[in-house]
Amino acid sequence: MKVIKFGGTSIGASDLFLKVAKIISDRSEKEFTIVVLSAFGGITDKLLEAIKFAGKGNQKYIDILEKIKSIHYEFLSKVVTSGNRQQFLNRINNLFIELENKLKGVFLLQECSNRISDSIVTYGEYLSNCLMVCLLKSQGKESEFYDAKKLIRTNSNYGDAEVNFAATNHLLQEWFNRLNQDHIPIVNGFTGSDENGHITTLGRSGSDYTATIIGAALKASIVEIWTDVDGVLSADPKVVSSAITLHQLSYNEATSLAVLGGKVIHPKTIAPVEKQNVPVSILNTFRLEARGTFIGRINNQNDANIKTITYLKGLSSISIFEPESKYCQIILFRLFGMLARLEIPVFTISKSAYKQSISFIVQSEYEHVFLEEIKREFVLEIEKGFISEATSRNNLALISAIGINSNFNSLVISRIHDVLENNGIKSLMFPYDPCSLNFSFIIDESEVNKTVIVLHKKFFEEYIYSKKESKVVNVA
């Protein structure tokens, strides 16, 4: 048994939708296959926009809803033959009646809780999944839709819910035991429900996560994630046109890639399958002949080169200075407590002996909240001069070299420093962890493209050329 997942770009046009249906049919003939689908590309954003307007009492939400309707009705007319179309039309109509009523309720109240927002934004998945079942049935395939809200149990953190794996695994295994393996099950990605039965979402691009949750619980032979690129690349192709496809990655490398800026997979995707040793394959819907990227338990002890270069923009540095070092431990304790209370994710932390400065790198969206909370938390310490007022620096980026082998890390890191120095790129912080597979550093956001390009040239283009010339890896 395998699980295959298709993202919004893979099903975002009628010809692609037909192509995906063919892939599903072919895969299902060879092995029992569970299918996970995202919403059509752009639909989730349209639903969020409709919620925003409705919440402000603005009737523009109706125009957006009509646009969403027209996209899906057009799909139905193009992918399902006229003789079969009418029997499926009622299903689509009923979904739109439900969606319209929910948005009207938001409009009348002029407010929308996160719980209601989750219940609305998941209609993108309900609609695309319904259409796929319609298409497969019109082609003579036995297929049924199964609602992920009945299969994936989460907490009530609407918008980015945490999965209760004990309850979810039990639900999925019971469901699988009841499945008719002569038909194709279609499951909506991105969606779950809490203990009260309220719909929750797993975070943007959470359909990848849905697929690996299912794959891990049922110990699938593989989870295939179909997208719009040939697999995981050595760098962002929008920045480096010569970026190459990586044919294999370890679970650790794939997780680091997702967390540190890689856009191919959702950050939580790998954790469930790693525990069960279920491999993942990243494949290209647009190029079926492409080999893709295999993710699993890979032995790369003799690999001297890094795997990929990623970046995260939109970061800020928050720093405080503590002239009186005797208060350091107490201040650190309170700072970490404050971060936990506010649930602010921190990318790096550094502390220098000089003037006892402490710096945190966070997403810029949290900067104002962080600064204001520091003022409230340490109002007396600031007044008495025990610490200075917090300062911030914006427009920063985190560059990461993923997949540094511990056998070669000192040589690789030395090469990175040389590249930066030779190209006049100033790093603001090197938060190095010797136990990590990665090496990251902070630079000004304006230097991102230049940095990624020169590092890629050094580690991939020159490296590949040297291998072709001498067939000897030179990391010096």
Give the per-residue pLDDT at 476: 32
Q: Over pLDDT 90: what percentage of the chain? A: 67
Give the per-residue pLDDT at 470: 42
DSSP structure class, residue 302: T
Write the pLDDT tens digit of every residue in 305-319.
789 999 999 999 998
Q: Is the pLDDT reported for residue 323 higher than 80?
A: no
Q: Which of 282, 269, 265 is nearest to 230 (CA)?
A: 282
H/E stretch holding 294: strand 293-296
Q: Which of 269, 39, 22, 217 is nearest to 135 (CA)?
A: 22
CATH code for the part of the protein at 308-470: 3.30.2130.10
Residues 6+ apart with CB under 8 A from 66: none
Q: Which of 420, 426, 428 is nearest to 454 (CA)?
A: 420
Separation of first and last alpha carbons in the chain: 46
pLDDT range class, residue 350, cuts 50, 70, 90: confident
Instruction: Return the exposure string of 36-48: e unless at least 16 CB atoms fall within 10 Å of the residue's CB, then b.
Output: bbbbbbebbebbe
Instruction: Delimit the CATH 3.40.1160.10 region(s) of the chain.
Output: 2-296
**Residue 22: Cβ within 10 Å count:** 11
DSSP string covering 76-122: HHHHS-HHHHHHHHHHHHHHHHHHHHHHHHHHHHT---HHHHHHHHT
Residues 102/65, Cβ–Cβ less than 8 Å: no
pTM of the predicted model as reported, rounded to 2 decimal places: 0.89
Instruction: Using only the alpha carbons of the chain, give its radius of gyration.
Output: 25
Write the pLDDT tens digit of every residue in 351-364.
776 557 788 899 99
Give the per-residue pLDDT at 345: 86
Q: Which residue has the tokens 């404050």?
A: 338
Instruction: Delimit the CATH 3.30.2130.10 region(s) of the chain.
Output: 308-470
Residues 355/388, Cβ–Cβ less than 8 Å: no
Q: Is the pLDDT reported for residue 1 higher than 60?
A: yes
Q: Check residues 332 and 29 and name the one with the higher pLDDT.
A: 29
Domain range 2-296, CATH architecture? 3-Layer(aba) Sandwich (3.40)
